[in-house]
Structure 1
Amino acid sequence: MRMVRYCLKADREFDSSIIFFYIGFLNIWNLRTGKYPIHRFEHDARIQALALSQEDATIATASAFDVVMLCPNEEGNLQIAAEFEVQKLVDYLEIVPDTERYPVAVATAGDLVYLLKAEDSARTLHYVYGQPVTCLDVSANQAAFGVKSLGWVYEGNKILVYSLEAERCVSKLGNALGDFTCVNLRDSPPNLMVSGNMDRRVRIHDLRTDSIALSISAHQLGVSAVQMDDWKIVSGGEEGLVSVWDYRMSQKLWEVHSRHPVRHISFNSHSLITAHVPYERVVRSADLDNFATHRRHRGLIQAYAFAVDQLAFQSTVPICRSSCDAMPGYNYDLALAFPPDSI
């Protein structure tokens, strides 16, 4: 049986486009215009990584040893803006925001980090043999990625911050026993960055002093996803727990649990999207009907709305709510609830 590989991504407003891919096919949908794809692109091999720009319709995909960047032309149709060849299979891929004329991306492949500019060939931004990259995020002028410690010289796992303009390392952060599994640079306040680690902790890093401004013990089985804004952190763990923190007070405000580990988190001022992917995605039974109906083999995409009106009458801060009566999540006296819907 040929298994399907898929990924869902959307921009920060959650209403412009969504991408579904399997094997080597990439389908691009517009959520406002209808149920049929507006563009289809085919690779020769399965797609390993995908990135969607938050500013425009630029898309980057990695398949085998090729990275392709798609951009809309004057008529609005997507076309290939650049193609790159790399030496190893790509693990992580991100599009750099706020680039003016030419799209720019950063890709990691094992212990290599590439800077991909549409008007240039692939350039090696970072490489240390035997030091694989474990997570990646980018901002308009920097890239941050976690690296494992060298096997023969233990220094602790770190996050390296590179200047994309100077193409050099400007900060070395952390010295953790566990692997850094996620990092959020793009959405963090100026001079701050948040990361998650397999040692169960969420850390806020001060980029001005290369120090840890705050460390929170967050998830029992390790942190798998994290995002930060100017006052709160949303973190997800391998145990399936999603937590909202007010980092100014080091206080947890809300949490909800799902069966599967949290793999993706994305929120803005009014919405929160979480994606839960099961460890076992291979059906051990030959009963296909059981596979179609049994929830243990299904991933979940959960959508939450941040309360902004008087319905959250007892809330001191605007967190998630819905009209359902059951509130299995902890509310910490904030009158919080969440929708039971799952896609």
Structure 2
Amino acid sequence: METEGAVDVWSTVLAREPVHHYQHCQEIQAIAVASDSAAIATCSGYQIRLESSDEKGYWRRTYQFELQKLVSYLQLVPGAAVNSGENQLLVAAAEDTVYLLNPDTEPKVLHSIYGNNVTCLDVSINQVACGVKSFGWIMSHGNKVQVYCLQTSQPLATLGNSAGDFTCVNLKDSPPYLAVTGNKDRKVRVYDLRTSKEVISLYGHQLGVSSVQMDDWKIVSGGEEGLVCVWEQRMGTKLWEMHSRHPVRHLHFGAHTLVTANIPDEKCPRGASIMDDDLTAHRRHRGIIYVYDFSIDKSAPVLPICRSTYDEDVGYSYNIALSMPYDQIK
């Protein structure tokens, strides 16, 4: 995906060349990839484009939407096109409005509050969660997360009341009736959707939280300062952390792996051009993807600090640190 609007779709099996390519006229603002089908959605300006692959592997444009506002967030509804004959549903946030997009019908408004822009978005099989800026000048009306039912378009819950903007929310990966959020106030919060109450609050980032995900027992959060934290949600304690140069824009973990994408705020170094000889400045402004594999042989040099014994005074390995280090042995 390029700033010129070009989109390349790659196969994780055949990764030598893109399996599909298409072009937008302007810079791409958001992209969404289906986890349960061969479909991808991108938005550029006021245009949303849905591309999918048929049973023979041929990619084509499935549908194209035109909205009246600039799109900032885009999500594909999981499970919406698993069975043949069903349309792939999309949810798009454009400024202060959230739309449900179905190729067979006109765009449907799920949420709209004039002047209160949407700050984050996530979608599960039957629910939508969106962060919304403060409702007004009154201090009691802080920033919130609104949860809606996809089938009925009715509001289900209103979460939080924070002075900082909600910058990320994870609904589809969270356990039933729970949602995890990240905020500019540097806190990670978990809410119970049945009561709309906060059940967990974690504080460990120096800057705003930019990405979150949780499962039955752990929470992983990434921050603007480049810190990735793994939390034990039942005890509310930090288990592990890793620091990188650039902010953590995306993260996703599975049973044994963790993938993070660190993207700099400033992608072009000031005063440097492609013709300059100093490549160090350019490397500092490159984003990087980290893949952590926790299933490999414990003797491999992945986390030396985690293999320290009580015979050692301290455990240390560059930018890796345990939140509860070993006691000093005297």
Range of TM-score over shorter length:
0.7 to 0.9
CA contact (8 A) 2:241 2:323 kept: no
CA 1:273–1:44 in 2, change beyond 3 Å: closer, same or farther? same
Q: 1:299 aligns with which of 284, 287, 291?
A: 287
Whether 2:322 is the aligned partner of 1:331: answer yes
CA distance in 1, matches of 2:298, 2:211: 31
In the alignment, which residue of structure 2 is the partner of 1:146? 131
Q: 1:206 aligns with which of 182, 192, 195?
A: 192
Question: Aligned to 1:293, what secondary structure does the other structure show?
Answer: helix
Residue identity opposite 1:85 in structure 2:
E
CA contact (8 A) 1:143 1:164 kept: yes
CA 1:252–1:77 in 2, change beyond 3 Å: closer, same or farther? same
Whether 2:259 is the aligned partner of 1:268: answer no
In the alignment, which residue of structure 2 is the partner of 1:338? none
In the alignment, which residue of structure 1 is the partner of 2:230? 244
- The structural deviation recorded for 1:291 is 6.4
CA 1:182–1:81 in 2, change beyond 3 Å: closer, same or farther? same
Residue ranges of structure 2 left out of the alignment (5+ in a row): 308-315
Residue identity opposite 2:270 in structure 1:
R
**C-alpha root-mean-square deviation of aligned residues, in Å?**
2.2
Higher mean displacement: 148-157 or 93-102: 148-157
TM-score normalised by structure 1 residue count: 0.84
Q: 1:278 aligns with which of 233, 251, 264?
A: 264
Q: 1:134 aligns with which of 112, 119, 124?
A: 119
Question: Aligned to 2:17, what secondary structure does the other structure show?
Answer: coil
Whether 2:55 is the aligned partner of 1:74: answer yes
Residue identity opposite 2:7 in structure 1:
L
CA contact (8 A) 2:257 2:295 kept: no
Question: Aligned to 1:50, what secondary structure does the other structure show?
Answer: strand
Larger radius of gyration: 2
Whether 2:94 is the aligned partner of 1:109: answer yes
In the alignment, which residue of structure 1 is the partner of 2:25? 44
In the alignment, which residue of structure 1 is the partner of 2:67? 86
Higher mean displacement: 39-48 or 240-249: 39-48
Whether 2:74 is the aligned partner of 1:56: answer no
CA 1:290–1:185 in 2, change beyond 3 Å: closer, same or farther? farther
CA distance in 2, matches of 1:102, 1:135: 24
Q: 1:233 aligns with which of 195, 200, 219?
A: 219
CA 1:134–1:333 in 2, change beyond 3 Å: closer, same or farther? closer
1:174-195 CA-partner distances (Å, limit 9, x unpaired):
0011000000001000000100
1:242-266 CA-partner distances (Å, limit 9, x unpaired):
0000011111000011111111111
1:298-343 CA-partner distances (Å, limit 9, x unpaired):
112111112366549xx9xxx999xxx94531135789xxxxxxxx
1:264-315 CA-partner distances (Å, limit 9, x unpaired):
1111111111111112223311443356432321112111112366549xx9
CA contact (8 A) 1:245 1:251 kept: yes
Question: Aligned to 2:222, what secondary structure does the other structure show?
Answer: strand
CA distance in 1, matches of 2:7, 2:220: 29
1:212-242 CA-partner distances (Å, limit 9, x unpaired):
0111112121111111111100001111110
CA distance in 2, matches of 1:79, 1:144: 30
**Count of residues in Structure 1 that have an aligned counterpart in Structure 2:** 308
Question: Aligned to 2:179, what secondary structure does the other structure show?
Answer: strand
Whether 2:147 is the aligned partner of 1:156: answer no
Q: 1:221 aligns with which of 207, 212, 217?
A: 207
Provide the identity percentage.
49
Residue identity opposite 2:30 in structure 1:
A
Residue identity opposite 2:49 in structure 1:
V
Higher mean displacement: 270-279 or 203-212: 270-279
Structure 1 runs of 4+ aligned residues shifted over 2 Å read: 150-154, 286-296, 307-312, 325-328, 331-335
CA contact (8 A) 1:130 1:151 kept: no
In the alignment, which residue of structure 2 is the partner of 1:171? 157
CA contact (8 A) 1:116 1:123 kept: yes
CA 1:84–1:184 in 2, change beyond 3 Å: closer, same or farther? same
CA distance in 1, matches of 2:279, 2:50: 35
Question: Aligned to 1:284, what secondary structure does the other structure show?
Answer: coil
Question: Aligned to 1:285, what secondary structure does the other structure show?
Answer: coil
In the alignment, which residue of structure 2 is the partner of 1:16? none
Residue ranges of structure 1 left out of the alignment (5+ in a row): 1-19, 336-343
Whether 2:23 is the aligned partner of 1:23: answer no
CA 1:290–1:96 in 2, change beyond 3 Å: closer, same or farther? farther
